[in-house]
Structure 1
Amino acid sequence: MQYSKIVGTGHHVPEKIVTNDDLSKVIDTTDEWIVERTGIKERRFIDPAKDTLANMSASASRMALKNAGMTADDIDFIVFATITPDYFFPGSGVLLQRELGLESIPAIDIRNACSGFIYALSVADQFIKTGMYRNVLVIGGEIQSTALDLTTRGRGTAVIFGDGVGAAVVTASDQPGILSTHLHSDGRYAEELYVKDPGSSRPREERQPEQILDTSTYKVYMNGNLVFKHAVVRFQEVIQEALDANNMTKEDIDLLIPHQANLRISQYLQQKLGLADEKVYNNIMRYGNTTAGSIPIAMSEAIQEGRIKPGDIICLAAFGSGFTWASALIKWI
């Protein structure tokens, strides 16, 4: 039987660092207020004059390919997870294909927000297991900064999000690397964390930009308390589901990489699972919530820091808009 494994990771974050003190100059907030509620100290914002999701994802991809000992020509499929594409359409996958100088290979986009990278990884895993593709480039990345409401009115979300991209090269293997993936959703809560517009189910006069006076529906809306309550439950459930599927226990986890939504959620999860500090990876302090980019960026940094070694059991877990939640259990080989 054919399996899949991750053989290279990479990431790219913009050069511009925006600290909590920087935000306090335009928003009624403080460093203490932000850190207490989110754990975030700083985040990265793009320079619109030079940064695009496509060129940042190409940079992350080249790093991942170099670490995998491959070139772009080895890739035969692209799976791109993002909710902030450069264009409303076409998707970001084909733009990355163009950036890498590839021709003809298929590219699909995944729009599952915070769970997007694990959904994308699951898609890659299934295509490799069927034998349809051998080397798949999986991307998770976002540009949030240009849509944030950087006023006190938007404080609840403006202090949370940042920009960045992570990439992973997934290839065929005769040994199981990606042990299992587990995906869930509950659309009953779709409007509790969403951006309403530009949506298609509107009268023409409400969908045309020149007619729009109220732009509030183009901003992120988040029912923070409800999201937190669901996240701490679903995170635990989906991690346990992955462990049960592989006849493992939490003691078998060498490193948990949760979606970087809120440091309080990660710490609560760590406490409930009884995991030591060295068994949980967090970088939200430096980058904020990069949505689909958070897990692959964290995974790439963890490898750079020597936190992931051959034979380790790695658990990825995410929860976010949709609501969607997902996990993946990986043996690093």
Structure 2
Amino acid sequence: MLKSKIGGIGYYVPENIVTNQDLLRVMDTSDEWIQERTGILERRYGKKFEETPATMGARAAEIAIERAGINKEEIDFIIFATLSPDYYFPGCGVLLQRELGITKTEIGALDVRNQCSGFVYGLSVADQFIKTGMYKNILLVGSEMHSMGLDFSTRGRNVTVIFGDGAGAVVLQPTEDENQGILTTHLHSDGTYAEKLALISPGSHGAYHFNKMAIETDFGFPDVEFGEMFVNPTMIENAYTYPVMEGQFVFKMAIQKFPEVIMEALKKTGLTTNDIDLLVPHQANLRISQFVQAKLKLSDDKVWNNIQRYGNTTAASIPIALCEAWEAGKVKAGDLVCLAAFGSGFTWGSALIRW
């Protein structure tokens, strides 16, 4: 039976390190406050006017392609996951294709907008394409440049201190080895509380969310008429163009859904938590990862966390962490690797991989 495997993996993070102390220059916070709530010590920010999600994704992709033992011209499909695209449209998939110099092959490019769970969603899509024989070398990239769209003031500190920039990539290829490949993927969503973690404007809602949904969800947005304008000075002055998050609500949902979707994958394959060699969770918050680890009764050596150094890189966090773990020798042939994510939407998912 044809399955899909990760044939190559790579990641890229910008050189610019931004510590918690650095953020004190622009907002009222402290290293202790940030560490206590998130576990983060530092994050990376891309070079303005030089780096974008597409360019960073290309750097990670080049490493993954080389490690897969193929030429970039052999890539026959692209999947790009991000919440911080270069442009509102077109998507980053075609920009990545152009950056890699493989436009002549005119391969398809799919953009995935599932935020923190974007990489797991993309992995599931790629897995289906590989198993059906439609494609043989799928490039899956998760890349984010949050630093271009955060509120660097005390007003925005609850969100801003969490996020960082970076990119991760894998090449999915077919395998007939029964002891290798993606065993199962599981995807879920619930849009009931979509505005609890969101960037609502600019958007095409014509102020619908401000006049209806926002007030109902206690975001504190005034009941004003913006008409159907995509963006205007009032939105900018009142910081409506920045992300909003109800942290405690998101935390409670995450610690519920993370274990559920992991156990769903294990049940599907007849495995248990004892069979997991390494859990690579989306790096949302170190406290969330620690809760999930305790819930599943996994030892420290069976969980890979790097949010302390990179912050939350959303769709890029799992491939970055997975690549780091692999490079460190924590992922070996035959190991059972579990990936899991939860994020805005809300969307969540898991994957089990026999390396």
Quickly name the TM-score band, shorter chain normalised: over 0.9
**Is 1:234 aligned to 2:257, yes or no?**
yes
Sort the Cα spacing of 1:212 and 1:222 in 2 relative to 1 into closer, same or farther, 3 A: closer
- Return 5+ residue gaps in structure 2 as ranges: 207-225
Tell me which moved more, 251-260 or 129-138: 129-138
| Residue 140 of structure 1: aligned partner | 142
Q: Secondary structure at the match of 2:330?
A: coil
User: Deviations along 1:60-86, whole A, 9 cap, x unmatched?
Assistant: 000111111112111100000001110
| Residue 209 of structure 2: aligned partner | none
- Return 5+ residue gaps in structure 1 as ranges: none
Sort the Cα spacing of 1:180 and 1:54 in 2 relative to 1 into closer, same or farther, 3 A: same
Contact 2:281 2:341 in 1 (8 A): yes
| Residue 263 of structure 1: aligned partner | 286
| Residue 219 of structure 2: aligned partner | none
Query: 2:273 is aligned with what amino acid?
Result: K
| Residue 185 of structure 1: aligned partner | 189
| Residue 118 of structure 2: aligned partner | 116
TM-score, normalised by the number of residues in structure 1: 0.97
User: Which among 343, 346, 349 is matched to residue 320 of structure 1?
Assistant: 343
| Residue 253 of structure 1: aligned partner | 276
Q: Identity rate of aligned residues, in percent?
A: 58
**Is 1:72 aligned to 2:72, yes or no?**
yes
| Distance in 2 of aligned mates of 1:267 and 1:214 | 38
Query: 1:207 is aligned with what amino acid?
Result: F
Tell me which moved more, 170-179 or 272-281: 170-179
Q: How does 1:161-240 map to 2 (within 5 A)?
A: 161-175=163-177, 176-202=180-206, 206-209=229-232, 212-240=235-263
User: Deviations along 1:163-190, whole A, 9 cap, x unmatched?
Assistant: 0000001001113500010000000010
Q: Secondary structure at the match of 2:270?
A: coil
User: Deviations along 1:4-31, whole A, 9 cap, x unmatched?
Assistant: 0001110111111000000012111111
| Residue 306 of structure 1: aligned partner | 329
Contact 2:235 2:241 in 1 (8 A): no
**Is 1:98 aligned to 2:98, yes or no?**
yes
Q: Secondary structure at the match of 1:49?
A: coil
| Residue 157 of structure 2: aligned partner | 155
Q: Secondary structure at the match of 2:51?
A: coil
Query: 1:146 is aligned with what amino acid?
Result: M
Sort the Cα spacing of 1:213 and 1:110 in 2 relative to 1 into closer, same or farther, 3 A: closer
Contact 1:139 1:165 in 2 (8 A): yes
Sort the Cα spacing of 1:40 and 1:212 in 2 relative to 1 into closer, same or farther, 3 A: closer
Q: CA deviation at 1:54?
A: 1.3
Query: 2:9 is aligned with what amino acid?
Result: T
User: Which among 269, 279, 285 is matched to residue 302 of structure 2?
Assistant: 279
| Residue 19 of structure 1: aligned partner | 19
User: Deviations along 1:184-238, whole A, 9 cap, x unmatched?
Assistant: 0000010000000111121665314467554522111001001000100100000
| Distance in 1 of aligned mates of 2:345 and 2:330 | 31
Contact 1:10 1:61 in 2 (8 A): yes
Contact 2:2 2:131 in 1 (8 A): yes
Contact 1:44 1:162 in 2 (8 A): yes
User: Which among 109, 112, 117 is matched to residue 107 of structure 1?
Assistant: 109
| Distance in 1 of aligned mates of 2:236 and 2:343 | 29
Query: 1:37 is aligned with what amino acid?
Result: R
| Distance in 2 of aligned mates of 1:210 and 1:33 | 33
User: Deviations along 1:281-317, whole A, 9 cap, x unmatched?
Assistant: 0000000000000000001111111110000000000
Aligned residues: 332
| Distance in 1 of aligned mates of 2:234 and 2:158 | 28
| Distance in 1 of aligned mates of 2:229 and 2:77 | 37
| Distance in 1 of aligned mates of 2:279 and 2:329 | 14
Contact 1:206 1:212 in 2 (8 A): no
Sort the Cα spacing of 1:6 and 1:29 in 2 relative to 1 into closer, same or farther, 3 A: same
Contact 2:54 2:143 in 1 (8 A): no
| Residue 213 of structure 2: aligned partner | none
Sort the Cα spacing of 1:213 and 1:46 in 2 relative to 1 into closer, same or farther, 3 A: closer
User: Deviations along 1:81-111, whole A, 9 cap, x unmatched?
Assistant: 0011101000000000011111200001000
| Distance in 1 of aligned mates of 2:114 and 2:40 | 23
Q: Secondary structure at the match of 1:29?
A: coil
Query: 1:4 is aligned with what amino acid?
Result: S
| Distance in 2 of aligned mates of 1:225 and 1:318 | 17
| Distance in 1 of aligned mates of 2:228 and 2:195 | 23
Sort the Cα spacing of 1:205 and 1:26 in 2 relative to 1 into closer, same or farther, 3 A: same
| Distance in 1 of aligned mates of 2:299 and 2:248 | 27
**Is 1:125 aligned to 2:127, yes or no?**
yes
| Residue 30 of structure 1: aligned partner | 30
What's the C-alpha RMSD, in Å, of the aligned pairs? 1.2
